Amino acid sequence: MRLFKPDKLRDINAGSKPNFSFKQETDPLIVFRALRRHHVHVQVRDATEPRVIEDIAVDDENSERNADPCTSSYCMWPKSSDGKVYVPYVISNQFNSRELQIIQRGLDSFSSVTCIRFVRRSNQRDYLSIASNSGCYSFVGRRGNAQSLSLDKNGCIYHNTVQHELLHALGFNHEQCRSDRDSHIRVVWENIIDSYKYAFDKIATLNQGTPYDYNSVMQYHRTAFSKNGQPTMVPIPNSNVAFGQGTQMSQNDITRVNKLYKCCPTARLTSRSHHRSYGARFCCNATLTANQKHSSPPSKKFHPRTKKRSSCPEAELQLFLLHTTDQVL
């Protein structure tokens, strides 16, 4: 495998913006297929790569850390005084322009719905080093110094895969490993390849008070690691529920990020006609004034005049305006 020295790593050109007009491939099985193709139970790579279990990189001196909740200040990426969490990164020059577009889209997708900002590294000590190594993998949470995040050009360059590995880097683990998963899925152990049964071990995951999510981008497909093509996971009580087909982060994925990093602990939109606060679905920060053009039926046009706004999607403001007839406080 070719070795990549620090001078071979580069940031995306600050003066150019990716064109996202291309058709995005979002095969719901891509995450699992890529991981299955590239990983064995525990694969030791060359000296430049970490030890990897499934798609999770581990430190030899602290290999159990990834089985614990990432709640310590060291494991989490630090919060800035402006309320944002800046995660520095560099990207290897292995990727072509289209691959860079897909990776950049995944990085940027967090900024509109969370306080996470993936930013090009300048001189920060801790940062993500994104490269095409052997498979798709990431450490869970902040490791310190240059932190490998692999997106193999041969199978990992998909929007949902990029988000999946970035969520690992932020501190999140797989949905099917939740401690409460037995209330939501039945693991069919006899159908699992023996050397992959570890992938279904229950661990303490960062659920953040959210329900089990079949649509999470962290949930594997129902035949993941099957030795006979039969399901390895069956949803309960309704075995026909579709799952493991997330093409992008779900609402619960986003909520967990916002809660773990306390992106907006007091974010509420309130009006005189609504004495209780109205929480936006994705937890957004907004201080605004707005008058609803109200008629019966309601007008299709609303005219919010925003005084201050950080991470509140326009759709959330419009949804709130549908519930009030006076000035938003």
Q: What letter would DSSP give residue 158?
A: S
> Looking at the domain assignment, is residue 329 inside a domain?
no
Residues 201 and 281 in one domain: no
- 227 and 184 belong to one structural domain: yes
Residue 300, token pair as written in the block: 């299709």
CA–CA separation, 319 vs 133, rounded Å? 43
Picking from 25, 219, 17, 10, the residue whose alpha carbon sits closest to that of residue 108 is: 17
pLDDT at 142: 94
Please indicate, yes or no, whether residues 188 and 164 belong to a single structural domain of this protein.
no
End position of a domain, from candidates 260, 287, 313: 260
Considering the domain architecture, whether residues 29 and 158 belong to the same structural domain is answered as: yes
State the total domains in the chain: 3
Q: Are residues 58 and 16 in the same domain?
A: yes
H helix runs in the chain, sequence order: 30-38, 97-108, 159-170, 251-260, 314-321
Task: Identify the active-site residue in 165, 175, 190, 316.
Answer: 165
Task: Determine, yes or no, domain membership for 328.
Answer: no
Q: Which domain holds residue 310?
A: 269-321
Q: Does 276 reside within a domain?
A: yes
Please check whether residues 151 and 26 belong to one and the same domain: yes
Same domain, 144 and 24: yes
Which of 121, 224, 110 has the alpha carbon at shortest distance from 166? Answer: 110
pLDDT in the model for residue 230: 97
Same domain, 69 and 149: yes
With 0.85 as the threshold, say if the pTM is over it: no
Residue 47 lies in a domain: yes
Q: What is the CATH number of the domain that holds 53?
A: 3.40.390.10
C-alpha radius of gyration, the chain, whole number = 21
At 265, which amino acid appears? P
164 is in an annotated binding site: yes
Residue ranges of the chain whose pLDDT lies below 70? 1-55, 57-69, 71-73, 265-329
The rounded distance, in Å, linking the Cα atoms of 234 and 273 is: 46
Q: What is the pLDDT of residue 329?
A: 39
How far apart (Å, rounded) are the C-alpha atoms in residues 288 and 309? 7
Per the annotation, the verdict on 316 as an active-site residue is no
- Domain-embedded: residue 216: yes
Is residue 203 situated within a structural domain?
yes
The answer to whether the CB of 162 falls within 8 A of the CB of 100 is no
Residue 1 located in a structural domain: no
221 assigned binding-site residue: no
Considering the domain architecture, whether residues 256 and 309 belong to the same structural domain is answered as: no
Closest to 65 (Cα-Cα) out of 204, 218, 222: 204
Last residue in a domain, options 220, 242, 260: 260
In a domain, 326, yes or no: no
Residue at which a domain ends, from 130, 152, 172 = 172
Least Cα distance to 165 among 154, 176, 177, 151 occurs for 151
Tokens 């994705």 found at: 282
d(CA 139, CA 169) in angstroms, rounded, equals 6
At 318, list the tokens. Answer: 């419009």
Q: Are 225 and 39 in contact (CB under 8 A)?
A: no
